Every structure is written in C-alpha cells, then in structure tokens.
Amino acid sequence: MVQTGMPPQKDTKDAPEDAGSSQATADLLADAGHATQESEFFNPIPPGYQKGRHKYVVVLGTVMSGLGKGIFASSLAKMLKDKGMTVAPIKMEGYLNIDSGTLNPYRHGEVFVLDDGLETDMDLGTYERMLDQNLTRQNYTTSGQVYKHVLDKERHGGYLGRDVQMIPHVTGEVKYLLRDLAVKQNADVVFVEVGGTVGDHENAFYIEAVRQLAFEEGEGTVCFVALTYVIEPPALGEQKSKAAQLGLKKLLEAGVQPHIIAARAKNPVESSAAQKIAMFSNVPLHRVFSMHDRDSIYTIPDAMRQAGLDREVLTMLDLHSRVDQGHEDRARTNWQSFVGKLGGERKYKARIGITGKYASLRDAYASIDKAIEHCGAHLSCDVETVWLDTTRFEPDQAGEKLKDLDAVIVPGGFGHRGTESKIACVKYCRENNIPYLGICLGFQMAVVEYARNVVELPEAASTEFEKLSEAPVIDILPEQKKIEGLGGNMRLGGKDVLIQPNTLASFLYKPDADKPFTIRERFRHRFEVDPKYIDELEKAGLVFSGRHPKQPIMQVLELPAHPYFIGAQFHPELTGRPLHPQPMFMGLVAAAIRQHHRDTELASINNRWLAPAKPSSAKVQ
C-alpha cells in the first residue's frame, strides 16, 4: 500500500485559526511539502489498523433508489454475526445535510435516533433491529460530514499546503472513516451501504473510494454486492431485465466488478432474467439472488442461507476459519423460533390505530410498525394497523374514527397541524377505556387533554403551538436548558428514566421490582411538562411513574383506573427488537387483545402479558 511521505494530518494545537489568512503561513506550508511523486498520494491509515484483519462488504444500488440496500446488507451482516463474527455496518448518504434531523418524513421516512444522540436515516433502525445491537455515530455519515472533515483539516493546515481535491483527499477521508470504524469497533467485517444509485453525482466519490479500498486492501478483502431491479410490466406479463443490465453496466463503468447480484422484483426472479443478468454482469448464476417481495423482511436471512450466499461470502473473504458453529446453531434456533411465530397461525386479533399527521406514509412511522409486528408475533396476535391522518379530520370526528379500534397510538411529531384532533383522540380513549399509548408528542397531548378536561384548565396548551398560552402545561423551561445543556437544540439520544414501583410502567419493565429502578430509552424533543403544574395534575389523578433521576422532568405518565393508558416522553419504538419486543408495545398489544376479545373468554395460556393489567398504586419516592 502506498502511503504519503508526510504525516496525513498535522498536529493542530499551534495551527492558526485560519490557515488561509496569512501568506507567510501558506508559504511555510508549501515549503514543508514540495510536490513530489510520493506526496501526490493521500492515504492516511488509522492507528492500530491491520491490513487483512478487517474485511468489507460493499452494497450499492442500480436502476433506482429505495430497493432495500439496508435490508439486504443487514440480513447478510446478521448471517455473519450469527457465525460469531463482529460486524460493523455503516450507511454513507450522498446528501449535504450533516444528519437526518431536518429531513421531511414524507421525503425520507422516519428519523431514527441512535443512543449517542445522532439523528440518522431509517436504515440504521433496520440494522439495529436485525443485528440486535446498538450503533453509534461512527456507523453513519453523509457527504456533508465528509466535506466538513476535509475543509476543517484544510483550514488548520492539515494538508501541508496541498491543493485539496476530490481525489485523493475526499476519497482518502472516506477510506479513513471505513478503516477507523473497523479498528474502533474491532470488526471482522464492515458492511458499507452506499446511499442512492450508481450514476448519481452525489455518491460518485463514495464509489471511487470503495474501488480504491478494494485495490489497496488486495484480493479477498472486499466483496461488492449490487442491488438491481427486474421490471415486470402488467401489460406484458413477463419480467424484463434490460434496466437491470444497463444499471449494472454503470457500475462496471465506475471500475467496480460486483461479486453478488441481488435482484429486486415483485415476484421470484425467473431463470431467463437471472441468466441475462449473470451474463451481462460477469457474475456466476449461483450468486444472482432473487430478492422478491416477502411478507416480512425477517425471513430474508434464511432465504439467503438457503441460496448459499453466506458460504459464498465466507469463501470470497476467506472467513471460514472465523466461524463459531456452536454460536451459529444457537442464533439460528432463536431466530427461527421468532420467524416461526411470524408465519404461524395466530390465536388472537386486534385493531390498533396510529393517529399521526404523516399517517399516509408508513415509512414515517417505520419503527412503530416494526415494534407492533414484533409484539404481534410474540403474543400470537394478528394485528391490523389502521392509519389515521389527524390533519384530515376535525376534533369532533375523533369518536367516529376510533370507535371500532381496540387500541390507539398517538405518535411523535412537530408542528401545530393535526394537534387538536390528536387531543380529541386522547380524550376519546381516556373516557371510553380504549387502550392508549402516547409517544413524545402523544405524551404531551395527553397532559394537555387531562389539564383541560379533568384539572379544568381550559386554556391548557403547549407553547410549541401557543406561545402566549395562559396555562402552558407543556413548555421549554430555562432551568431545563441548563440541566441538559440544550441551548436551542433538542434533547436527543439515550437517557436514564427512573421508574416507580407498583405502577403500570414497573409492571411492563420489571414486574417484581419493589424499589425504584432505572431504564434507558431514547429521546427526541424540546418541550417538557412545566413542573409548576405537576402537583395539580397528580392531585387530579394523573400519575407520573417515570421521571428524570435527578431533576423535575416527567418522562412517563399513566392513569391507574384505566385498562391501559400510558405515555412516554421518549420514543420506545426505537429500542424494539425482534427477539426483545419493547415492553410498552407488548403491554399495548396485550391490552388490545383483551379489548378485542372482551366478550369472549381468552384461552388460558402461560403469558403474563395477557393477564389483566396490573393497576397502578404509585407513591413517588
């Protein structure tokens, strides 16, 4: 591997604030590195990196975006993790945003928040659920982040007077990020998902960087996977592979020879289409995988295993010696048990309504959808989700919209649109004993509704929507800004929540607890319950069963006399996993089952979730 003869990054302790502000500084930097043949290369290597120790699987898309690169990459990564290896995924986005926090859900799906507070693409949620592991900001980057790193280095003299270019400096930064991830997460295999489609301008430097990475690391270290799309026009009644062939040609033109092809299609890819794809991509037919539509993404790892993709990857990357067969057997047994429940016959039924202003786009609530799917499988319940857009009906229509539902979720969101209809939904659930789960904004709307209609504060509101409210029960408080160091930003990421014993919350998380205990959940919000209203709300019967461990910040609420009424200031859906379903969602689905089957006797089974919900008798300690 060729490396620069100069340090890849200069110690910046004594560097000027703006390396371009002084001609003398520029002259010194120029003198420090005259352009030589050796100095043309910029290929920094992170400390501790061992060439050959870390392998890479790079997943790229052709034809169109949205094909499911994250699903494929996470499924393949799961198979290797099941074999006892350490895997580290990374999503590389082409847009210039620093993170996903400001992206419109209609354009990009939900914002997924990592435990360390980074707001990311929804694909990170797919990785966490499939791999059952928490990811960090190292597992996600954007073009904006990459360019910012490069420009910050340039401003501090990090390139020793060189003219900074896409090649080698930007591509060098990408290679450094990948190698650094491999070292810091001690990964046997790094799974690299390149966002967008081959041929896009914004991801071209990523593709060039991984091409260089494969060249530098050597044969048997990088496996390229290309997702493509097989069209099946209804008018023709047959599959057409021409678009797939042309898309793969674009990848070959970029200097990347794929090793595996994943062909997306509505129906299983026909042999004739697969043969054409194999021929025009130089990929053996047995490495062309039909990634057709399935009832659940969680069946894809087993489909890959049956196709032999795991063995192909092990051979290409020389990883057979790292397989732990016992670990794989145990992992497969656990996963197949869950998948069996997914596809098995269900004992119960329930209809759960999701009342949000992005309800017309299910990707906006992808983690909620998945959390319900997990719980339905574990509780043998066929859950029908009913999506209700609260911007499309008036508050006085809430009862008509909810009357046939067995449970209701009011999810998070920002902005005033649809909030009064959400409040009306909360009221209907409270007054009619409909199981209710409020998430983030849904928690806040439950406080507003209770304050208005039970505490009798008709002007109760959130200052997010009514800045001059006479009863701002939800507000941003100066002392809270100081507590969390928020400034003008949101409270983001994993935080501890102190749960009181003998409450619905404690029953859900730790049913045998007789003392307060802490849980860790993920937050994404700016507004809180104003502490000056807490006593009034509690005297009227509202229980705050989860709080900040040290400060007067309310984080879980519940109603003791209700069959199931709970709200969380955090986002419980972000921590739901297939093998470890989220407790608040398990409680909601169980309550929905009881509601749906209320006129019949539930079958007697050994499942604590289907016992009557434990009433709250909380005394804050």
Contact by Cβ (8 Å): 68, 106 = no
Nearest alpha-carbon partner for 98 in 80, 117, 84:
117
pLDDT higher than 50, residue 6:
no
Asked whether 218 and 52 are in contact (CB, 8 A), the reply is: yes
More confident: 4 or 264: 264
C-alpha angle 517-523-529 in degrees, rounded to nearest 5: 80
Mean pLDDT across the stretch 193-200? Answer: 93
354 with 330, same domain: the answer is no
Residue 22 CA to residue 232 CA, distance in Å, equals 62
Tell which wins on pLDDT, 451 or 295: 451
270 and 417 in a single domain? The answer is no
CB 213 within 8 A of CB 231: no
For CA atoms 595, 597, 601, 604, the dihedral sign is negative
Please check whether residue 98 lies inside any domain of the structure: yes
Counting residues of the chain whose pLDDT is more than 90, the rounded percentage is 73
Three-class SS state of 600: coil
Give the pLDDT of residue 286.
94
Q: Look up 573 and say whether it is catalytic.
A: yes
Asked if residue 303 and residue 359 are part of one domain, the reply reads no
Is 619 within the bounds of a domain?
Answer: no
Q: Pick the catalytic residue: 223, 425, 429, 440? A: 440
- pLDDT of 361-379, one tens digit each? 677 899 999 999 999 999 9
A 10 A CB-CB count for 158 gives 24
Q: Is residue 37 part of a domain?
A: no
Report pLDDT digits (tens) over 220-268: 999 999 999 999 998 888 899 999 999 999 999 999 999 999 999 999 9
Q: How much is the average pLDDT of 308-325?
A: 96
Q: Which domain holds residue 360?
A: 346-610
Q: What is the CATH number of the domain that holds 131?
A: 3.40.50.300
To the nearest whole percent, how much of the chain has pLDDT over 70?
Answer: 86
Phi and psi for 439 in degrees, rounded to 5?
-115, 120
The predicted-structure confidence for 456-511, as pLDDT tens digits, reads as follows: 999 999 988 888 889 999 998 665 555 554 445 678 999 999 999 999 999 999 98
Q: Which of 306, 338, 370 is the last residue of a domain?
A: 338
Mean pLDDT for 305-314 is 95
Going by pLDDT thresholds of 50, 70 and 90, the confidence category of residue 119 is very high
pLDDT of residue 607: 66
Say whether the peptide bond before residue 458 is cis (omega within 30 degrees of 0): no
Domain boundary among 338, 369, 396: 338
Of the candidates 191, 188, 219, the one whose C-alpha atom is nearest the C-alpha of residue 322 is: 188
Same domain, 268 and 176: yes
Tokens standing for residue 499? 């749960």
Whether residue 6 lies inside any domain: the answer is: no
Q: Which long-range contacts (CB under 8 A, 24 or more apart) does 232-236 make?
A: 232/265, 232/266, 232/267
Considering the domain architecture, whether residues 268 and 193 belong to the same structural domain is answered as yes
Residue with tokens 């989220």: 582
Judge if 315 and 462 occupy the same domain: no
Given 338, 369, 384, which residue is the final one in a domain?
338
Nearest CA to 87 out of 127, 50, 49, 115 is that of: 127
Chain mean pLDDT for the chain: 88
Strand partners, 262: 227, 289
Residue 327 burial (CB count, 10 A): 14
Q: Would you tell me how many other CB atoms lie within 10 Å of the CB of residue 308?
A: 13
Asked if the structure places residue 28 within a domain, the reply is no
Tell me, yes or no, whether 280 and 419 share the same domain: no
pLDDT for 19 equals: 41
Mean pLDDT of 513-535: 93
Pairing of strands 348-356, 554-558: unpaired
Residue of 54, 259, 525, 571 marked active site: 571
Q: What is the DSSP string of 332-395?
A: HHHHHHHHHHHHSPPSEEEEEEEEETTTT-GGGGHHHHHHHHHHHHHTTEEEEEEEEETTSS-G
Mean pLDDT of 452-456: 95
498 C-beta neighbours (distance < 10 Å), count: 18
Cα 561 from chain centroid (whole Å): 35
Residues 378 and 515 in one domain: yes
Q: Give CA separation, 493 vs 496, 523, 604, in Å.
A: 10, 5, 40
Closest Cα partner for 562 from 583, 543, 547, 548? 543
| pLDDT for position 617 | 53
**How many domains are contained in the chain?**
2
> Active site includes 571?
yes
Which one, of 570, 576, 612, lies nearest residue 593 by Cα? 612
> Measured in Å, how far apart are the chain's first and last C-alpha atoms?
62
pLDDT tens column, 160-190: 778 899 999 999 999 999 999 999 999 999 9
Question: Same structural domain for residues 274 and 360?
Answer: no
Q: What is the DSSP track for 524-593?
A: EES-EE-GGGHHHHHHTT-EEEEE-SSSS-EEEEE-TTSSSEEEESS-GGGG--SSS--HHHHHHHHHHH
| H and E: helices and strands count for the chain | 20, 21
* Residue 548 bears catalytic tag: no
Question: Which DSSP symbol is given to 217?
Answer: H
Is residue 259 one of the residues assigned to a domain? Answer: yes
Q: Are residues 324 and 369 both part of a single domain?
A: no
Confidence of residue 1 (pLDDT cuts 50, 70, 90): very low
- Which has the higher per-residue pLDDT, 57 or 106? 57
Which amino acid type is present at position 319? L
Judgement on whether residues 383 and 314 belong to the same structural domain of the protein: no
Residue type, 297: I
Beta-bridge partner residues of 93: 142
Active-site residue, from 449, 562, 573, 596: 573
Asked, for residue 33, whether it belongs to a domain, the answer is no
Instruction: Calculate mean pLDDT across residues 393-403.
Output: 92
Given a cut of 70, is residue 61 above it in pLDDT? yes
| pLDDT for the residue 604 | 47
CA angle 436, 368, 567 (to 5 degrees): 30
Q: Does one domain contain both 369 and 240?
A: no
Is the pLDDT at 334 greater than 50? The verdict is yes
- The radius of gyration computed from the CA coordinates of the chain, to the nearest angstrom, equals 27
Question: Is residue 56 predicted with pLDDT exceeding 60?
Answer: yes
> The CATH number of the domain where 500 resides is what?
3.40.50.880
Reduced to 3 states (helix: H, G, I; strand: E, B; else coil), residue 240 is strand
What is the b/e burial string over 44-53, where b = at least 16 CB atoms within 10 angstroms of the residue's CB?
bbbeeeeeee
CA distance 212 to 522: 37
At 31, the pLDDT band (50, 70, 90 cuts) reads: very low
With 60 as the cut, is the pLDDT of residue 26 above it? Answer: no
Secondary structure of 80-132 as H, E, C letters: HHHCCCCEEEEEEECCCCCCCCCCCHHHHCCCEECCCCCEECCHHHHHHHHHC
Tokens of 435: 């199981």
Lowest mean pLDDT among 98-107, 281-290, 466-475, 503-512: 98-107
Give exposure, 588-608, as e/b (b: 16+ Cβ within 10 Å).
bbbbbbbbbbeeeeeeeeeee
Is 163 part of any domain?
yes
Question: Residue 327 has which token pair?
Answer: 């670990």
d(CA 370, CA 575): 11
